Chain A
C-alpha cells in the first residue's frame, strides 16, 4: 500500500504527460503481481466495491467530526476522500503494519454494508495520511488525479514495450488484476484469448476543424447528429450469439436500449449515432427528435413498454469496424462506407438508417450549407478523410468536427458555487439569469442556466474575486451575488424546461465572454431566449 500511495501522490504533483507515464511504467515494472494489477485497475477505474461509497466515508467521518465542520471542510477541499484522509483522527500508534494493496482490495471486496464502517476504520488506522488518501480513492473508485484510463494503459504499454492498440484490443475482455495481460506483456506468454466475446473497441474521434480548410476531393462531409455515439457489437453466429450496445465511454447500455440489441443479429461491429424518432426534425421522413427527447431514455436500467413506444430509438450508422468475421478497420473510409451502404439494406429500417453524405462541390458551398442549418438534431458537420483507416482516439488529419457557431445571449450572474477537484477552492459554477421585463421598470432576473466552463484560469481567479466581494447572501456552498456582472453565454439550442423558473433551458451552455464593461440592465430578456426555442 505504501508504494501505491507514493505513486498516487507522485502522480498528483507531476505535471508532464511523459513524466506521469514514466512513473506509472516504473511502478508497473517494479511491483509484483497481483499488486500491480490492482493498481492498474484503480488507475483505469475498473474497480467497484459495492459496500463502500462516498456516503460510507461521509458517515464514517460524521461519527468522529462535527457534521457542520465536516461539510465546511468537504466544501473547501472539494473531494470526500481527501477531506476524510486529512480529518481522520489517527490512533496514537498504528494498530498493525500497513496492509498490502492486494490485502486492502480483498478486504474492501469482502465488506458488506453492515461491516463496512468497522472494517474501514480498522484499515484506516493502519495507514498514514497519504495511505488513507490512496485507500479511500481506491475504495470509492474516483481517483480524480488527472490520469485518464487511456493514459494508464499507455503507461502499461510503455512499461513492457508492447503496442497500445493491442492492449486496447484485449482490455475489454479482461478483469482485474489482469493476470493474463501482465503474463503476456511482461513475461512473453501468448496473448489473452478474447475471440468470440462481444467486446467494445475504442471509438475513432475527431479534432475540431478550427480555421482549417480542407479539399473536398480528399474529405467527405457528413452531418454531426445530436444524439449519443454508440457502438453495436454482435459476437457469435447470426441470429444466435450475443449483442451489446456500448456508449462512447465503453459502458454497456444494452439494457437501456433492448430494442437495438434485438435488431442487430449479424456478427459485426457498427459505429453510429443513437437517436429517438421525431416527426419534426432531422429530415423529411425518418426524422430524429432533439436531444431533449433522447434524454428521457438515458440512464435507465430498465425500460417500460410506454417508453419504447413513445421514444423509439434507432441508430444512424456512421461506420463499420468488423463485418462477418473480418476486421475492416485498416481499410480506407471510402471502402468501409461502400460496405456500410450494403449492410444497411440487410438491417431492419425501423431501427437503422444511414448517415447521409452532404454533397458539396467546394469548401465554400459546404460552409454555406453549414451556416444555413439550424436544426436541433444537427450539431454541425463531420469531415472524414476518404482514405482514413479506423483508428482509436484522435489522430491528426483524419477526421474533423466542424460544429456550427453557437447561439449567444447576455445573462447576469446570480449565484455561484464552488467547483470540485482542482477548482474546489474557487467559485467556478455559475447560475445566470435574464430579465423578465424591463429592468428599469423593476423587472426581475429569472435563472435560465448554469455553466462551469469557457473561461481561462486567470478569468476564474477574477470571477472568484468578484463573487467574494459582491456576495449578498450565502446558502451553504452557494453564494448569491449582487447581480452586477454580465456574462455572454454561448449555447447550442434552447428548450422548454421545468428545471428553471424561467421555463427555459439551454443545451451545453458555456461562458463565452465576461462583459466586465456591460451594465447589468443591458443584459437580454427572457423573451429573447424563448424566441430561440424550437421544441
Chain B
C-alpha cells in the first residue's frame, strides 16, 4: 500500500483525475472541473463544466455568472465520471455548500477534503468522517500553536466590548463568504437581537445565505444608516480589506476587530492594526487536523497547502505516511 494511485495526479495548478480528465479546484480554466467550495482560490470561473453542490454553484453563479456547464450534486450523492471513476460529495463543514470529494477507482479510495473544520457551524452541515486509502488534506493552521478557542468565548468578547463602549461601533473584519455569515449567525444564537450593519460588499452573499434558509436576523447597510450617530453601539461587518481603508474613516470611532484564526498570534493582529482580535476560523486547527487523520486513518496523507512542514513531522512522529503537494494559487491570508 498504496497500490499505485497513478490515476490521481497532483499538478501545480490542481489535482488531475486522469481517467476522467477532470480537475479538482483547478487554478486555471479547464474543460471539466470538480469544485469543493465557493472561495475564490478554489472556485474559479471559465471552466467548461463545473461539478459542485447546488449551494456552491449558486455562489459561483453570484460571483462569476457561471451558469453554463453547472452540474449539481447533493451531499451523499455519487456521480459516475468517464473512465470508471465515481465521485461522491460529502459535507466538509467549512462554509455553505462546502464538500469533500470521495473518488473511487479500481478499488482505491481517495478523499480530497478541500478546506474543512470540525467545529459546529450553524451555516453548514458538519464534516463527515469517511475511511479511505489516501486523504488529501489542507493544513492552513497546521502548527501546534493553533488551537481555536470555543466560538462562544470569542462572540462573548465581542459582545462585552460592545457593552463597554456604547458610544463607539465595532467594525468586524470577516471574509465575505462564510466567516461573515457564521459570525452573524453565532451572534444571533448568543441572543444578539439588534440590527447588524453590513459593508455593501457583504450584502449579496448574506442574501444568498438567507435564501438557503440561514436566519441572519435584521441586517442593514451602513450606506443606509440615517447618520453617523445611528451606528454607535452597533456591530458592523466588513471585508478584512476595508478595515483600514478610507471607508472605515467615516464610521463613529470604530473599534477594529478581526475574525480570523491568525488572530491567535499577537504579532499578526498587530500587523493588521487589530484592536479586538477574535480567534474564529473556518479551517481545522492543529487538534482538528491531527484528529481527522486519526479518525479517517488513511494509508497515506497528501497535504495540499498551508503549514505542511509541521503536519509532515507529526506524521513521521506517529509512523504515518505523508507527502506535501506543491500546489500554487491557494491563498491563506484572509482566514
On A, residues with C-beta under 8 Å from B are 12-15, 65-66, 68-69, 72-73, 76-79, 82-83, 86-87, 133, 146, 421-425, 457, 469
Contact = CB atoms under 8 A, between A and B. Distances in A.
7 contacts: A12-B266, A13-B269, A13-B270, A72-B310, A73-B310, A78-B267, A425-B267
Nearest to A74: B145
Contact of B271 (A14, A87, A423): A423
B274 interface: yes
A82 B277 contact: no
B144 A65 contact: yes
Contacts of B145: 73, 76-77, 83, 86-87
Interface string B192-223: 00000000000000000000000000000000
A256 B178 CA distance: 61
Nearest to A420: B267
A14 B144 CA distance: 27
A83 B265 CA distance: 9
B8 interface: no
B75 interface: no
A86 B264 contact: yes
Given A79-B267, A424-B267, A69 B275 contact: no
B275 A14 contact: yes
A425 B147 CA distance: 18
A13 B269 CA distance: 7
A77 B265 contact: yes
Nearest to B333: A461
B314 interface: yes
Contacts of A14: 275
A82 B277 CA distance: 16
Given A77-B265, A82-B265, A72 B143 contact: yes
A422 B277 CA distance: 15
Nearest to A460: B271
B267 A13 contact: no
Q: Which 9 A-B pairs have the closest CB atoms?
A: A86-B145, A72-B310, A68-B313, A73-B145, A13-B275, A12-B266, A422-B267, A73-B143, A424-B267
B267 A87 contact: no
B267 A15 contact: no
B277 A13 contact: yes
B328 interface: yes
Contacts of B310: 68-69, 72-73
Given A13-B276, A15-B273, 4 more contacts: A68-B310, A69-B144, A72-B313, A86-B145
Interface in B280-330: 307, 309-310, 313-314, 317, 328
B268 interface: yes
B276 A422 contact: no
Nearest to A14: B275
Contact of B144 (A73, A133, A423, A469): A73
B292 to A, nearest CB: 18
Contacts of B271: 422-423, 425, 457
Contacts of B147: 86
Residue among B144, B274, B317 with the highest chain A CB neighbour number at 10 A: B144
Contacts of B313: 66, 68-69, 72
A75 to B, nearest CB: 9
Contact of B328 (A15, A68, A422, A469): A469
Interface in B6-63: none
A235 to B, nearest CB: 42
Contacts of B317: 66
Interface of B: 143-145, 147, 264-271, 273-277, 307, 309-310, 313-314, 317, 328
A422 B270 contact: yes
Contact of A76 (B143, B276, B314): B143
Contacts of A146: 270
A159 to B, nearest CB: 22
Contacts of B267: 77-79, 82, 421-425
Nearest to A146: B270
Contacts of A86: 145, 147, 264-265
Nearest to A19: B275
B112 to A, nearest CB: 22
B35 to A, nearest CB: 23
B220 to A, nearest CB: 28
A66 B316 CA distance: 11
A346 to B, nearest CB: 51
B264 to A, nearest CB: 7
A72 B314 CA distance: 12
A424 B262 CA distance: 12
B307 A72 contact: yes
A422 B266 CA distance: 9
A424 B266 CA distance: 11
A87 B265 CA distance: 12
A340 B313 CA distance: 65
B328 to A, nearest CB: 7
B279 to A, nearest CB: 11
A162 to B, nearest CB: 29
Contacts of B273: 15
B275 A425 contact: no
Contacts of B143: 69, 72-73, 76
A146 B267 CA distance: 10
Contacts of A65: 144
Contact of A72 (B264, B275, B309): B309
Nearest to A469: B328
Residue of A14, A66, A76, A425 most packed against chain B (CB within 10 A): A76
A14 B274 CA distance: 8
Nearest to B331: A465
A73 B317 CA distance: 16
A118 to B, nearest CB: 23
Contacts of A13: 266, 269-270, 274-277
Contact of A69 (B264, B270, B314, B328): B314
Contacts of B268: 425
Most chain A CB within 10 A, of B147, B268, B276, is at B268
A72 to B, nearest CB: 5
Nearest to A72: B310
A77 B269 CA distance: 12
B265 A15 contact: no
A292 B279 CA distance: 48
Nearest to A66: B317
A301 to B, nearest CB: 33
B307 A76 contact: yes
Nearest to B266: A12
A425 B265 contact: yes
Contacts of A133: 266
B159 to A, nearest CB: 18
A469 B267 CA distance: 24
Contacts of B270: 12-13, 146, 422
Contacts of B269: 12-13
Given A76-B143, A146-B270, A15 B275 contact: yes
A146 B266 CA distance: 12
Contacts of A425: 265, 267-268, 271
Nearest to A419: B267
A143 to B, nearest CB: 12
Q: Which of A13, A73, A77, A146 has the most CB of B within 10 A?
A: A13
A82 B263 CA distance: 13
Contacts of A421: 267
A12 B275 CA distance: 8
